[in-house]
């Protein structure tokens, strides 16, 4: 027993493997055929895992990319004619809104860029607060009508005038945020 401990200690010092008096390595099974079979089984398992992983990734890519476009950037048609679209992310954010104003605000940001919103208002025209200010452009009427139609369909009790007021309010908030430097253009 003492001899085995000495051999173990020597192996730890020199990083060698311990061999018993028969010459077989203590860590292995001793039978070279069994070792080869074990290694072959491990390789087969690795190859099977790789082929299954490759098949899974291929199916995942087919699921995420359909018809040459990514589902996460796929557009959702809104409005009554279906010509206006928002990103699926925008739609999935707007859909669970509990109020018509909340939904309108999310869709507004999805339909128009911040730059366009800063230069526009709902109907266009001169500011009522500052008549000397530059005349603002009207928002795209086709997109605006699609937004209003979608919100009113989702919330049948919503009044279109309240939704329009909410849209103008959001545009004013954006202008204020830009002036106070909390939004980058």
Q: Which residue, 17, 52, 69, sits at the end of a domain?
A: 69
Same domain for 126 and 155 = yes
| Exposure string for 103-128, b = 16+ CB within 10 A, e = fewer | bbbbbbbbbbeeeebbebbeeeeeee
Higher pLDDT, 7 or 83: 83
128 in any annotated domain: yes
Same domain for 88 and 43 = no
Same domain for 143 and 62 = no
Query: By residue range, what is the domain housing residue 111?
Result: 74-179
Cα separations (Å) of 71 from 6, 75, 127, 151? Answer: 65, 8, 41, 23
Same domain for 114 and 42 = no
Same domain for 50 and 114 = no
Q: Which pLDDT tens digit goes with each residue over 124-133? A: 887 777 778 7
Same domain for 87 and 111 = yes
Residue 125, C-beta contacts closer than 8 angstroms, at least 6 positions apart? 135, 136, 138
Same domain for 36 and 126 = no
Query: How would residue 16 be classed by pLDDT, with cut points 50, 70 and 90?
Result: very low
> Structural domain tally of the chain?
2
pLDDT at 89 over 80: yes
Query: How would residue 14 be classed by pLDDT, with cut points 50, 70 and 90?
Result: very low
Query: How would residue 170 be classed by pLDDT, with cut points 50, 70 and 90?
Result: very high
Q: Which residue, 69, 92, 126, sits at the end of a domain?
A: 69
pLDDT of residue 111: 94
pLDDT at 138 over 50: yes
What average pLDDT does range 148-171 have in this prediction? 94
Please tell me the pTM assigned to this model: 0.59
Whole-angstrom distance, CA of residue 1 vs CA of residue 88: 72
What average pLDDT does range 105-117 have in this prediction? 93
Same domain for 63 and 147 = no
Same domain for 112 and 51 = no
Same domain for 53 and 82 = no
Same domain for 48 and 113 = no
Q: Which range in 81-85, 100-104, 133-137 is most confidently predicted, on average pLDDT?
A: 100-104
pLDDT at 155 over 90: yes
Residue 142, C-beta contacts closer than 8 angstroms, at least 6 positions apart? 79, 83, 84
168 in any annotated domain: yes
Same domain for 150 and 128 = yes
């Amino acid at each position: 027993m003492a001899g085995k401990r000495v051999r173990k200690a020597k192996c730890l010092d020199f990083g060698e493997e311990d061999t018993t008096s028969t010459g077989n390595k203590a860590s292995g099974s001793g039978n070279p055929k069994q070792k080869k079979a074990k290694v072959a089984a491990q390789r087969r398992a690795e190859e099977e895992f790789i082929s299954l992983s490759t098949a899974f990734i291929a199916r995942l890519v087919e699921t995420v990319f359909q018809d040459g476009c990514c589902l996460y950037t796929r557009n959702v048609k809104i409005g009554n004619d279906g010509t206006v679209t928002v990103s699926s992310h925008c739609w999935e954010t707007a859909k669970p809104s509990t109020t018509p104003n909340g939904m309108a605000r999310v869709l507004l940001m999805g339909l128009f860029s911040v730059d366009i919103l800063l230069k526009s208002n709902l109907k266009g025209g001169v500011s009522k607060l500052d008549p000397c200010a530059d005349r603002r452009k009207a928002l795209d009427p086709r997109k605006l009508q699609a937004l209003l139609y979608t919100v009113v369909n989702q919330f049948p009790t919503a009044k279109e005038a309240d939704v329009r007021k909410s849209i103008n309010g959001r545009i004013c908030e954006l202008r204020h945020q830009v002036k106070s430097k909390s939004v980058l253009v």
